[in-house]
Amino acid sequence: MRFYSGGHQNCTHDAVLQGSDQVHSWTLVTGQALDTAWRIAKGSVMLGVSLLMATLCYFRRLHLYLGHWWKWWIGYLQRKFKRNLSVEAEVDLLSYCAREWKGETPRAKLMRKAYEELFWRHHIKCVRQVKRDNYDALRSVLFQIFSQGLSFPSWMREKDIVKLPEKLLFSQGCNWIQQYSFGPEKYTGSNVFGKLRKCVELLKTQWTEFSGIRDHHRRGSMCNTIFCDAILEYKLYEALKFIMLYQVTEVYEQMKTNKIIPSLFRLLFSRETSADPLSFMMNHLNSIGDTCGLEQIDMFILGYSLEVKIKVFRLFKFNSRDFTVCYPEEPLREWPEISLLTENDRHYHIPIF
């Protein structure tokens, strides 16, 4: 009985050991399975993260590329179709002054006082900024002539100005006009007459059209078209230069026959650099639009040639008798008046009353 009982205990002990081995085996298998599953899952997660990072990096680079491409394309379209804002829209005068003349330097203080003088005493409320180049004086004057619809000068109505280049050559023997220079183009040669003729013809056509329009808004819209075309503008300004040269030549011929000539031309011909039309053209006129703009004596000639009184507010001369000047000082008749403002006698803007 005891023997049987002892055998039974041994069997029970073996069964327990066998169960423990099975549990250990299952635990080991389960652990290995979980470890394998974790490694697979970890590998999958790392692969997924790597793919995600690669995808994000790709799309980031694609976004940067597309951004640069889009920016370049927008810039190209803007350069292609953007209007050349040679005469900008009206802006408030005092706001423009505050933006341009900050600080407490003596010049900034002087300019702020000068702009306040324009605003309160001369009732100038706005200003049109004009593109800064060596044509800006001509641009400022012609813009106002067109926008106001001013008529042709009396002498232009009596003559066909398109034929003036040939007239200087054949009637007055001015073969030196072949040395005329078209601003930065510096074009000279036998074909200069044909080129000048096209410029003058364009000026005549545009001026005739503008002077025949009574609606102010329509003239303004046309000005926006004209003064956004750099090539068209260039031809108009060269036509104005030639008109000035023609008038200088006409007055010089009158002086040679002892006729009375305006005092401004006596001053012009008294200078060594402009003693005659040729020297005036070579030393002064040819540089306009290229290396320099209009000098004061040129402003006189321009006003005289176009039969307009050009009133200029010279802001850097504030509190002096030269704060406002007119070109010419004493018009021969009741010529229409246009106004400019300048901060340095080199660049001009258009005041709006």
Q: Are 328 and 298 in contact (CB under 8 A)?
A: no
Report the percent of the chain where pLDDT is more than 70.
84
Q: How many CB atoms lie within 10 A of CB 195?
A: 19
**Confidence tier at 66 by pLDDT (50, 70, 90):** confident
319-331 per-position pLDDT tens digit? 999 999 999 987 6
> Does the pLDDT at position 40 exceed 60?
yes
Q: What is the mean pLDDT of residues 209-226?
A: 94
pLDDT, position 83: 56
Bridge partners of residue 321, in order along the sequence: none
pLDDT-based confidence at residue 42 (cuts at 50, 70, 90): confident
The whole-number pLDDT of residue 166 equals: 87
Q: How far apart are CA 141 and CA 145, in angstroms?
A: 6
**DSSP for 290-347, written as a single string:** TTB---HHHHHHHHHHHT-EEEEEEGGGTTSTTSEEEESSS-SS---EEEEEESSSSS
Residue 234 pLDDT > 50: yes
- Collect contacts of 153-161 with beta carbons under 8 A, ≥24 apart: 153/305, 153/306, 153/307, 154/307, 155/307, 156/204, 161/200, 161/203, 161/204, 161/243
Q: Please, what is the average pLDDT of the chain? A: 86
pTM, rounded to two decimals: 0.76
Please, which pLDDT band fits residue 78 given cuts at 50, 70 and 90?
A: very low
Element (H, E) at 237: helix 230-256
Kindly report the three-state secondary structure assignment for every residue of 176-225.
HHHHCCCHHHCCCCCCHHHHHHHHHHHHHHHHHHHHCCCCHHHHHHHHHH
pLDDT above 50: residue 2: no
pLDDT in tens, 128-170: 999 999 999 999 999 999 999 999 999 998 889 999 988 887 7
Q: Would you say residue 59 has pLDDT above 70?
A: yes
Task: Tell me the C-alpha distance between 16 and 291, whole Å.
Answer: 111
Confidence (pLDDT) at 80? 47
